[in-house]
Amino acid sequence: MARHINQTGLDLIKQWEGKYLNAYQGAADRPGLLTIGYGHTDAAGPPVVKKGMRITDKQAEDILKADLWKVEESVSRMVKVPLNENQFATLVSFVFNVGEGAFGKSTLLKKLNKGDYTSVPAELMKWTNANGKRVQGLANRRAAEAGLWVKGAPIASQYVEPTVEKKNSLLTPEAIATGTAAVSGVGSAVSGVTGPIAYALAAVIVIGFAVAAFYFIRRMKEAEA
């Protein structure tokens, strides 16, 4: 089943192509080439554009949709990864502007077909020149296309393994409670005892706490590993 551009993408193309209901001479580098509607020329197929030709609003949109059919088919065929509606519309707008040949050779397409969705906006912004010079209108169009690409829920380019925060064994409630109990024990044990005996008793308790804490922390780390 053929896939078509959504209304958001169609409106974007209309905005940047501009609507001309009377035939006019297009780009200066292609003298004699007549354009009508939303950038339609004879190169896109019928209708043939003639001098003095005039069309209606509906005809302009119908011609645009007919011109986009080939572009939609090209994008569907050349892109090998899934695209959501806005991503598809972005590429249709882009290819309509730069041509299927340029798209087929682009780094954008190569990266996208490798699953690198996040590189597309930056790659779009590389296509802002005409005749070797930067054109602000093209830069603005590329920015609008990049904005449409990321609109909604874009597909992630890579799976990122979730990380589990490791707890500091010294800051666990169990460790804190053990330390607090030991300190309290030292205070109680030496209470009322003075002189060298008090210091010796306190040292024994502290050493005992240190040994117990060492084995306790080691068990906690082994459990976390």
Q: pLDDT by residue (tens digit) across 88-132?
A: 999 999 999 999 999 999 999 999 999 999 999 999 999 999 888
Residue 97 is predicted with a pLDDT of 93
**pTM above 0.75?**
no
Residue 38 is predicted with a pLDDT of 92
* Cβ within 8 Å of residue 88, ≥6 positions away: 3, 5, 6, 9, 75, 76
Identify the sign of the CA torsion 44, 33, 19, 105: positive
The b-or-e profile of 117-155 (16+ CB within 10 A means b, else e) is bbebbebbeebbeeeeeeeeebeebbebbbebbeeeebe
Distances (CA, A) of 207 to 190, 200, 220: 15, 11, 20
Query: By mean pLDDT, which of 72-81, 135-144, 186-195 is the weakest?
Result: 186-195
Q: Looking at residues 20-32, what average pLDDT do you find?
A: 74
CB 38 within 8 A of CB 64: yes
pLDDT digits (tens, 9 = 90+) for 156-170: 443 334 344 444 444
Task: List residues with catalytic annotation.
Answer: 17
